[in-house]
Structure 1
Amino acid sequence: MGDVIERIAETSELPASGRGGVVAIGNFDGVHRGHQAVLERALSEATTRGVPAIVLTFEPHPRSIFRPDIPLYRLTTAPVRARLLQALGFKAVIEQPFTRDFAGLDAEDFVRRILVENLGIRHVVTGFDFHFGKNRQGGPAYLMEAGERHGFGVTLVDAFRDEGTDVISSSRIRGLLCDGDVAQAAGLLGYRYTVEAEVGRGKQLGRTLGYPTANMALPASTGLRHGIYAVKLRRADGTLHDGVASFGRRPTVDEDGEPLLETFVFDFSGDLYGERCAVSFFGYLRGEEKFDGLDALVAQIRRDEDEARALLAGVTPLSQLDLLMSFTQG
Structure 2
Amino acid sequence: MKILTWNKPANNETKIVCLGLFDGFHLGHLKLITRLMQIKIEQNLAALFFTMSQSVTDFLHQTDTKLVDNKSKQQIAAKLNFDYYLEVPLTREFMSLSAQQFLTILKERFNVVKIVIGSDFRFGKNREGDFKQIISFFGQENVYLITRQDDTFSSTTIRNLLLNHDLPTVNKLLYEDYHLRGKVKPGKQIGRTINFPTANIYLPQKVILPYGVYVTETCVKGHLYPSMTSYRLFEGKEVVETYLLDVTLDLYDQEIIVYFKKYLRENIKINNLTELVNLLEQDLVDTLAFFANKA
TM-score between both structures, scaled by the size of structure 2: 0.90
Aligned to 1:52: 46
Aligned to 1:26: 20
Give how far 1:95 is off. Answer: 0.7
Change in 2 beyond 3 A, CA 1:290/1:97: closer
For 1:92, which of 78, 84, 95 is the aligned residue? 84
Q: Which runs of 5+ in 2 are unaligned?
A: none
Q: Which runs of at least 4 in structure 1 moved beyond 6 Å after TM superposition?
A: none
- The farther-off stretch of 215-224 and 196-205 is 215-224
The letter for the 1-side match of 2:21 is N
Aligned to 1:117: 108
The letter for the 2-side match of 1:128 is S
The letter for the 1-side match of 2:283 is D
Structure ranking higher in strand proportion: 2
Q: Which runs of 5+ in 1 are unaligned?
A: 250-254, 317-330
Alignment RMSD, CA only?
2.3
In 1: Cα distance, 2:69 partner to 2:95 partner: 21
Change in 2 beyond 3 A, CA 1:20/1:218: same
Alignment partner of 2:203: what SS? coil
In 1: Cα distance, 2:293 partner to 2:81 partner: 28
**2:231 matches 1:247:** yes
The letter for the 2-side match of 1:35 is H
TM-score between both structures, scaled by the size of structure 1: 0.81
The 8 Å contact of residues 26 and 174 in structure 2, kept in 1 or not, is answered as yes
Post-superposition Cα deviations, 1:36-64, rounded to whole Å, max 9, x if no partner, equal: 22222222221222322121111243224
Give how far 1:257 is off. Answer: 4.8
**2:66 matches 1:74:** yes
Post-superposition Cα deviations, 1:240-270, rounded to whole Å, max 9, x if no partner, equal: 1111111114xxxxx6553311110112211
In 2: Cα distance, 1:257 partner to 1:26 partner: 33
Change in 2 beyond 3 A, CA 1:274/1:91: farther
The 8 Å contact of residues 214 and 260 in structure 2, kept in 1 or not, is answered as yes
Aligned to 1:103: 95
Query: Percent identity over the alignment?
Result: 29
In 1: Cα distance, 2:52 partner to 2:177 partner: 23
The letter for the 1-side match of 2:129 is G
In 2: Cα distance, 1:102 partner to 1:9 partner: 13
**2:255 matches 1:276:** yes
Question: How many residues were matched structurally?
Answer: 295
- The farther-off stretch of 286-295 and 259-268 is 286-295
Aligned to 1:135: 126
**2:181 matches 1:196:** yes
Give how far 1:199 is off. Answer: 0.9
In 2: Cα distance, 1:275 partner to 1:15 partner: 36
- The farther-off stretch of 6-15 and 193-202 is 6-15
Change in 2 beyond 3 A, CA 1:183/1:108: same
For 1:153, which of 138, 142, 148 is the aligned residue? 142
Change in 2 beyond 3 A, CA 1:22/1:11: farther
Alignment partner of 1:240: what SS? strand
The letter for the 2-side match of 1:44 is Q
Give how far 1:292 is off. Answer: 4.0
In 2: Cα distance, 1:107 partner to 1:292 partner: 57
